[in-house]
């Protein structure tokens, strides 16, 4: 049974919906880009969170920025991946949520992103909120409301 099954959308907070950090593929800021690309390809994700050595959220990294770093005039220069680090290609301008933010704040945040990172007030990475989870909750609420009418 879902923790949100008996709650109205207005009562749901991000903590009820997020995937905890322990279950989220991520990379560290000083990892080689080769490692980050391997994580992305193996996981099947288009992007993953980036944390520093103290587990604070610092950004996200995706396949496209990595490949843009190694594109040459005539070929991909993949041998450069091991010499470059994640911080050289990551995106630091990312939306963030906190565990106490509302369902609607989460909905607004995932409109333009497949996932949004959740961090505490000190910046430590707590997990992610996915667009999929938001849509599933919205669908569940819609059909619950529809069956009550």
The residue among 94 and 141 whose pLDDT is bigger is: 94
CATH architecture of 9-148: Roll (3.10)
Instruction: Give pLDDT tens digits for 70-107.
Output: 887 788 788 888 999 999 999 999 999 999 999 999 99
User: Is the confidence at residue 24, as pLDDT, over 90?
Assistant: yes
Please give the C-alpha separations between residue 81 and each of 73, 75, 77, in angstroms, as whole numbers: 16, 14, 8
What is the structure's pLDDT at 146?
Answer: 57
Q: How many CA atoms lie within 13 A of 75 on its CB side?
A: 4
Domain parsing of the chain, residue ranges: 9-148
Mean per-residue pLDDT over the chain, rounded: 91
What is the structure's pLDDT at 4?
Answer: 63
Instruction: Indicate the pTM of the whole model.
Output: 0.87
CA-based Rg of the chain, rounded to a whole angstrom?
18
* Stretch (H or E) spanning 34: helix 33-43
What is the structure's pLDDT at 2?
Answer: 52
């Amino acid at each position: 049974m879902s923790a949100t099954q008996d709650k109205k959308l207005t009562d749901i907070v991000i903590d009820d919906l997020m995937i905890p950090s322990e279950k989220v593929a991520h990379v560290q800021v000083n990892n080689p880009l080769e490692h980050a690309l391997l994580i992305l390809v193996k996981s099947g994700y288009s992007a993953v969170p980036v944390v520093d050595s103290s587990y604070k959220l610092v950004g996200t990294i995706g396949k496209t920025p990595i490949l843009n770093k190694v594109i040459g005039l005539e070929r991909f220069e993949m041998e450069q991946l091991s010499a470059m680090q994640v911080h050289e290609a990551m995106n630091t301008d990312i939306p963030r949520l906190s565990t106490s933010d509302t369902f609607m704040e989460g909905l607004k945040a995932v409109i333009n992103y497949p996932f949004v990172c959740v961090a505490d007030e000190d910046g430590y990475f707590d997990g992610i909120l996915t667009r999929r989870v938001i849509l599933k909750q919205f669908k569940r609420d819609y059909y619950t409301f529809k069956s009550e009418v």
